[in-house]
């Protein structure tokens, strides 16, 4: 059985869940100084037909490189809002990888919220 090219508008995806890093993002001085653990889930939409036919890493997106970029941006940049962090990540991934669409969930796993136990987050989708 041969696999032909994927149909127009195909929705092949590569995803990574729980890319974790420690960062100093937040509005308050305490959040910026103490820091927190963050977790990112990312889905890249692209045509995976070339990789499925060739079994060649060069025909797809290397998810290890995606994870490295997420950690690099998350640990080197400092922003106030999760929304800004998600936007920076989405912009970089669309610029650096051949995805038509990037969907990101960014969560602050250890937020210093007095008396509250919750995991805040944002989800964004960006397209070319």
Q: pLDDT band for position 8 (50/70/90)?
A: low
The domain locations on the chain are: 13-127
| pLDDT at position 2 | 40
What distance in Å separates the CA atoms of residue 114 and residue 74, rounded to the nearest whole number? 24
DSSP per residue over 83-118, as a string? HHHHHHHHHHHHHHS--SEEEEEEEESS---TT---
29-44, pLDDT tens digit by residue?
Answer: 888 888 999 999 999 9
Task: Average the pLDDT over 87-109 and give the result.
Answer: 97
Catalytic residues: 108
The angle subtended at Cα 56 by Cα 53 and Cα 59, nearest 5°, is 80
Residues 93 and 66 sit within 8 Å (Cβ to Cβ):
yes
Fold type of domain 13-127: GTP Cyclohydrolase I, domain 2 (3.30.1130)
| pLDDT at position 10 | 66
61-91, pLDDT tens digit by residue?
Answer: 999 999 999 999 999 989 999 999 999 999 9
| pLDDT at position 77 | 85
pTM of the full predicted structure? 0.88
What distance in Å separates the CA atoms of residue 72 and residue 75, rounded to the nearest whole number? 5
DSSP conformational letter for 26: -
């Amino acid at each position: 059985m041969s696999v032909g090219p994927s149909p127009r508008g195909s929705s092949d995806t590569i995803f990574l869940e729980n890319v974790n890093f420690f960062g100093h993002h937040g509005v308050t001085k305490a959040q910026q100084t103490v820091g927190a653990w963050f977790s990112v889930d990312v889905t890249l939409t692209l045509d995976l037909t070339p990789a499925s036919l060739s079994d060649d890493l060069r025909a797809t997106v290397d998810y290890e490189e995606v994870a490295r970029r997420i950690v690099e941006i998350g640990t080197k940049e400092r922003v106030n809002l999760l929304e800004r962090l998600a936007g920076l990540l989405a912009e970089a991934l669309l610029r650096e990888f051949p995805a038509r669409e990037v969907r990101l969930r960014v969560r602050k796993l250890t937020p210093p919220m007095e008396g509250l136990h919750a995991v805040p987050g944002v989800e964004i989708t960006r397209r070319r």
